[in-house]
Structure 1
Amino acid sequence: MTKIVVVDNHGQFTHLEHRALRDLGVEAELIDNDTPPEDIDADGVVLSGGPDMDRIGQSPAYLEADVPVLGICLGMQLIAEELGGRVDSGDYGGYADVTVELTDEDDPLTGSLHPETRVWASHADEVVELPDGFERTATSDVCGIEAMSDTDRDLYGVQWHPEVAHTEEGDVIFENFRDICEAN
């Protein structure tokens, strides 16, 4: 059975990420972000959302864990920042229902949602410059980089929250990530 750990960055929806994976039949474990990567045995890692970069614990170390990583909201932002991209305040602000345009129909994480989907996202902070090796895989009229992928390193990020009911096809993101982990 595929095992994916959800690293808790103190986001208000983290428990829903854990549940979404369990509902897919994945062995999912919710772990504190102070847990060192060498203490876990998993096929993949989800870096959850959270309130701010000052509370990400050991999360950056998971980028070197040699398993696929999915960053959600703050998780995506910390991937970008740790690997040389840039995060800044968004123009739009808080949570909103957003139409996202999927720009790469071959992307293993988001491509199956092409050409667009409705999501629930916060844009208080957002990735404004991609790190080397990443491609933008989604955009919207309120955020230039709604999702990003580095398929060579199996590192993925979405600005939106696929785990909440307001995101129309959020379960597809978790299904696709499970498939990525199983193929790794």
Structure 2
Amino acid sequence: MKNELVIVLDFGGQYNQLVARRVRECNVYCEIYSYKIDIEKIKEMNPKGIVLTGGPNSCYEEDSPSYSKELFELGIPVLGLCYGAQLMMHVLGGKVEPAEVREYGKTDVLIDKTESKIFENVSTPTVCWMSHFDYISRVASGFEVTAHTADCSVAAAENEADKLYAIQFHPEVLHTVEGKTMINNFVKNVCGCAGAWKMDAFAEETIKTIREKVGGGKVLCALSGGVDSSVAAVLLSKAIGSQLTCVFVDHGLLRKNEGDEVENVFGLDG
């Protein structure tokens, strides 16, 4: 059975991996792509939903990361977070400006539309994590403001008909007390995902794919001891066993004794 897919478009924010993790915690498969991904590739993948991450830029600057208006016309639900929310408004005709009062840290957010699908089972006020120096001064046509703070008139806005949602804060971080609920609401209530995906199933599918591709061949894996290469090595080992040879690349940046630990775990006796 094909997995339901939600994709995260990375606009340079520090929480992109965390956003994907939160989606996966809803038992929905999620992949991260650069904002430079071609629109035709997105159409081909046909995701159930799209999340736009935060980022350090101002969306109204000429050289800032952006995306075409077509993204918001695919009929696919889109959730913009922080910079992603501002970009959504900017592209669709709203207005984003430098904020007179920059918000950073835990902030009380007052929900104006408690019946919003995003804010189902979310209290008001609710504590959220803000981190922005620009703000949405005017929402795009078709949007309504759904939340605000003492210093930010648009903390959230939505176009329910087009399934477009903009959130100025970061629901993916733990400082946003009910952030997981909001992301789950987007994935389940808005995107309509069933939430049947499991990480165990992903591992099994990956192992099967590796076996099919490698066949009777051999694989050489350069192993640094980091998360990416370590996970790759474990999956390869489970898939093809003795057909795998790992080479430990000690780049000199590991902590004391970690190199020995890597060799102990992945060596012949590991």
Residue aligning to 2:187: 178
Cα deviation per residue 1:97-152 (whole Å; 9 max; x = unaligned)?
10000001111112431422100012301101111100100001010000000001
**Mean Cα displacement is larger for which, 60-69 or 140-149?**
60-69
Q: Normalization by structure 1: what TM-score? A: 0.93
CA gap of 1:58–1:84, structure 2 versus 1, over 3 A, is closer
Is residue 10–residue 49 contact of structure 1 (8 Å, CA) maintained in 2? Answer: yes
Q: What is the one-letter code of the residue matched to 2:159?
A: D
Instruction: State the TM-score, normalizing by the size of structure 2.
Output: 0.65
The DSSP-based 3-state class of the residue aligned with 1:138 is: strand
Match of 1:30 in 2: 32
In 1, the alpha carbon distance for the partners of 2:132 and 2:66 equals 22
Alignment map for 1:141-156 (pairs within 5 Å): 141-156=150-165
**Pick from 51, 55, 62: which aligns with 1:50?**
55
What is the CA–CA distance in structure 1 between the aligned matches of 2:52 and 2:11, rounded to whole Å? Answer: 7
Q: 2:97 aligns with which of 73, 88, 100?
A: 88
Q: What does residue 166 of structure 1 align with?
A: 175
How far, CA to CA, are the matches of 1:59 and 1:169 in structure 2? 31
Distance across 2 between alignment mates of 1:104 and 1:118: 16
Pairing 1:70-81 to 2, within 5 Å after superposition: 70-81=79-90
Quick one: distance in 2 between partners of 1:89 and 1:96? 18
- Structure 2 Cα separation of the partners of residues 59 and 7 of structure 1: 13
Post-superposition offset of 1:35: 0.4
Q: Aligned match of 1:133 in 136, 139, 142?
A: 142
Contact 2:69 2:92 (C-alpha < 8 Å) held by counterparts: no
Larger Rg: 2
Q: How far off is 1:15 after superposition?
A: 1.1
Larger CA deviation: 86-95 vs 22-31: 86-95
CA contact 1:9–1:55 (8 Å) conserved in 2:
no
Call closer, same or farther: CA 1:112–1:91 in 2, change over 3 Å. farther
Q: Is 2:94–2:139's contact at 8 Å kept on the other side of the alignment?
A: yes
Give how far 1:164 is off.
Answer: 0.8
Answer yes or no: is the 8 Å Cα contact 2:112–2:146 preserved in 1.
Answer: yes
The aligned length equals 183
SS in 1 for 2:174: coil
Secondary structure of the corresponding residue to residue 192 of structure 2 = helix
Q: CA RMSD in A?
A: 1.5
Q: Which structure has the highest helix share of the two?
A: 2
CA 1:156–1:126: 2 relative to 1, 3 Å: same
Task: Report if aligned partners of 1:37, 1:65 keep a CA contact under 8 Å in 2.
Answer: no
- Of 112-121 and 96-105, more deviation after overlay is shown by 112-121
Unaligned runs of 5+ in 1: none
Q: Which moved more, 1:93-102 or 1:3-12?
A: 93-102
How far is 1:156 from its partner?
A: 0.2
Confirm or deny: 8 A CA contact 2:50 2:76 kept in the other structure. Answer: yes
- AA aligned opposite 2:17: H
Q: Which structure is higher in RCO with an 8 Å CA cutoff and minimum separation 6?
A: 1
Q: Secondary structure at the match of 1:115?
A: coil
Percentage of matched positions with identical amino acids: 33
**Helix, strand or coil for the counterpart of 2:184?**
helix
